[in-house]
Every structure is written in structure tokens, then in C-alpha cells.
Amino acid sequence: MTIRTALRNPLVAAAFGALLGAAPLTAIYTLRPAEAANMAVTAAQPPGDVSVALPDFTPLIKRYGPAVVKISVIEKAAGSSTGQSQNPFGPSSPFAPFFHGFPFQAPQEAPVRGEGSGFIIRPDGVILTNAHVVAGASKVTVELRDRREYPGKVIGMDKVSDVAVVKIDANDLPTVQIGNSASLQVGQWVLAIGAPFGFDNTATAGIVSAKGRLLPDSNYVPFIQTDVPINPGNSGGPLFNMAGQVVGINSQIYSRSGGYMGLSFSIPINVAMHVADQLLASGHVRRGELGILIQPVDQDLADAFGLPKPEGALVATVYPGSAAAKAGLKQGDIILAMNGKRVQTSRQLPVRVASLLPGTLVHLTIWRNHAERTIEARLGSMGAATLASAGNPQHPGGRLGLVVRPLTPDERQQANVPGGLLVQQVSGPAEDAGIEPGDIVLSANGHPVSSAMQLHDLVSKSHGHVALLIQRNGVQTFVPIQIQ
């Protein structure tokens, strides 16, 4: 199974050193004759031939390497105690009387140590790193490249974006140059500097593999994916472009072993600086919120709603009193664009909404009743009800296959719904789509249903595609079904 790994050093430096010591470095890889010949041919190419030209990172490392720091943390072990117990044997032990009145120090667990990286953004000692590097730390130590060490103070951290700001008491420090991650292009060379396995100021390079990656447990950071070798200890270190500008903070890897396997993810510097500015100003981060639950739009749902192609974010739930409810957004609307920028996939919407401050007025282009329309919404503040993805329902095809009955008044009150149909039996495509007995069918293709005949009529007029709004355990989601 592929495992997402945060890059805080898990104290594997000793094991890694043992691995290096197990064999001479010269024996790690030997060129075969054909490879040596290929290298010779490449070396013989004219210097101006761009087809074989490789970047030289030397000036960049010399200029900005001193602004990259190593961060060491100590945190108390879980369950550790500083208290005393009366005796080590317990009251039922025959030796207990001999220890009566004598304090006995309980055994202590060793503190947890970790390492990461960071980079200086202001000459007075303001440093950016990952929140997971300093989270829970009782002591933070920052080491510069010239070996000077300073105690670090965590000014603020934001676990949603995994960004933290640390301050050290120093002046006239070297700093990095902040770039624009929005201008980064797939295929461009990038360089990482950090402290993998504790080896400080280690430089590794690669290219941008993709932009806007949304990882399974992160709805608000459009990660930069690279093939730059990143390992534990690189967390919080900078990702540079060829102009020497920081375009990202190295944060996550995908790995089966805990080490680098070719997939590295960095927080875009535009996102990180937006968070850092708020942390420096107030110590916390404010994010906009619509107050809806959304789900992806696939081909079956697009067909059911009459959408020309699968795109946008389907509104599965509108929270009462939210910004979306006040704006008139409805369940079954499909958000196609925000402020004129198209929403290609549902996962793009939370990122864009969260990047705006509460109170921001946004223009939403929605799909309702087979036509586009525009509404305005003034964003609320992210709280308990967040804009997130409801996940991907299953959607095979076939006949409907449902036996339903109207809800009783008590059932409607218990489910907190104005009407609907209780699913009693399931077969065929409805069963394949994941509908279960006990589910409540609230609407079909956007039309509320309160009788089996009404559902039958809507299905017969559906032209082969039906989107049922289902409530299960208090959660509502659309399930598309194809009728053949």
C-alpha cells in the first residue's frame, strides 16, 4: 500500500549511516561499457547545444544556501510523568511496609527528538517551516550553516496548510528571495536544500512533475509535485526555481518504505506566504467558507443533470444559515466557475474558497435546471461546517430496482427531512450503485419525491439517467444511476 509520509526526521540517521558504512561508496554503482560510451558522446557535444545542456546550481547554492537552516526539536514523550509514587511494588506487596513514607521516583520515558529544515525570510530571524516539524515541541533549536545555534520561538502554526513561523533572536541574517509559485511550469528545473537524515545543507534537484495536486487528506493546499529527491529531515526546507527564488516548502512524500520513491510534494510559496503573513500579524489564519458539502461530477451525473460535459462541483448539502444558503445556492446546483475562473474538478473549489478572507464577495456561475446562471455570495468564516468533498459515489448502470414507501411523520421528524421515500428493497442498478435498504430517497434529478408513483414518473422522463439524492445516517449525497 502506498503511504503518505510527512518528512520530519524519525531518528533514522543512525540506521542510514550504518547502511552507508556497509559497503564502499565506489561499489554502489558501476558503469557498463555501453553507458560509459553514451556518457562520452554526451560530453563531446558542443557546449551551446541546448539538447544536452544541464543546469548549473552552483551560484544558487552559494547565494542562498546560508539562508537555509536546520531545525531540531524536543517534545515530551506521550504519557510521561514528573510525579512520584510511594513504592515500586504496590500496597499488596510484603515489601510495602519498608517503603512507607519514602518517595520513589517513577521511571521516565525519554523525550522524543526530531529534525527538519527551514529558511530565513527576514534578516531579523523570521523563519518559515512546516507545522508538523514544530508541532508539540517543548524546545526548538535553529542551527545556521555556519554552526551558530539559537533557541527558536514558534510565532504561530497552521495545521491546515502545514505552515509554521519560527523566530530567533538574531539580526543581519542571510535571507532567501520569495518567488511566485503561480508562474511555475511543469517541466522546469527546481532545487531543494534541507537536512535529510540530519545532513544539513544538502542540495537535491529535479523537475516540476505536476501542479495543483490535492492529496487525500488535504483539501486546501494545491501541492507542487516534483521528482526532487526528498527524505525525512527535508520537511520545511525551500524549493527554488532556477532564478534562485523560493517557489515552495517541501512537505510530503509518497512512499512504501518511508524514503524517497520519486514523488515529492511542496506547498506553493504563494499559499505559504498568505498563511505566514496572517500568523505574523495575528497568530492565527482566517479562511473563507461557503458552507456547503460538494461531490465530484462524473459522466453519469453530467448526463442526469443535462450538463454538456462532466465538470464543476455538485452541491450535495447546503448548511442552514451559511453563506451559500444566504446567497440562494440550492442542493443539486453545480458550481461551474468562481469569479470567472472555471471549476474543472470539485477539488479545486475548496482551495479557491479557502484562499479568500471571510467577507469576500464572490460571483458563482452555477448550473440549475439545464441552464447557467450567476449568483453572488459573501463568504463566511471557516468553522465547524467546512466546504469539503463528499467523495465519489459508485455508479454502474441498468434498471432502477427500488422498492420504496413514503416516510411516516415520526420517520420524517427523526430524519429531519420534509418528505422522502424509505428504501425497503434494492436490486439491479440501484444495488450496484450502493443504495441500501434504510436509505431515504429525497429527490430524483432535482425534483423532491414523496410517493412511489412520483418517483416512477420522474424515472420514466429521465432519458436514461437518474440522479437520486440519498440520505443515510444524516448525510446526503447524490447517486447517479443509468437506466437502460
Name the residues annotated as catalytic: 132, 162, 235
Q: Can you give the three-state secondary structure of the chain, one letter per residue?
A: CCEEEECCCCCCHHHHHHHHHCCCHHHCCCCCHHHHHHHHHHHCCCCCCCCCCCCCCHHHHHHHHHHEEEEEEEECCCCCCCCEECCCCCCCCCCHHHHCCCCEECCCCCCEEEEEEEEEEECCCEEEECHHHHCCCCEEEEECCCCCEEECEEEEEECCCCEEEEECCCCCCCCCEECCHHHCCCCCEEEEEECHHHCCCEEEEEEEEEEEECCCCCCCCCEEEECCCCCCCCCCCEEECCCCEEEEEEEEEEECCCCCCCCEEEEEHHHHHHHHHHHHHHCCCCCEECCEEEEECCHHHHHHCCCCCCCCEEEEEECCCCHHHHHCCCCCCEEEEECCEECCCCCHHHHHHHCCCCCCEEEEEEEECCEEEEEEEECEECCCCCCEECCCCCCCECCCCEEEEECCHHHHHHHCCCCCEEEEEECHHHHHCCCCCCCEEEEECCEECCCHHHHHHHHHCCCCEEEEEEEECCEEEEEEEECC
Burial class of residue 99 (count of CB atoms within 10 Å of its CB; 0-12, 13-18, 19+): middle
Given a contact cutoff of 8 angstroms between Cβ atoms, the answer to whether 327 and 375 are in contact is: yes
**Residue 412 burial (CB count, 10 A):** 17
Burial class of residue 217 (count of CB atoms within 10 Å of its CB; 0-12, 13-18, 19+): exposed
Q: Cα(385)–Cα(396) distance, rounded to whole angstroms?
A: 31
Q: Cα(345)–Cα(313) distance, rounded to whole angstroms?
A: 7
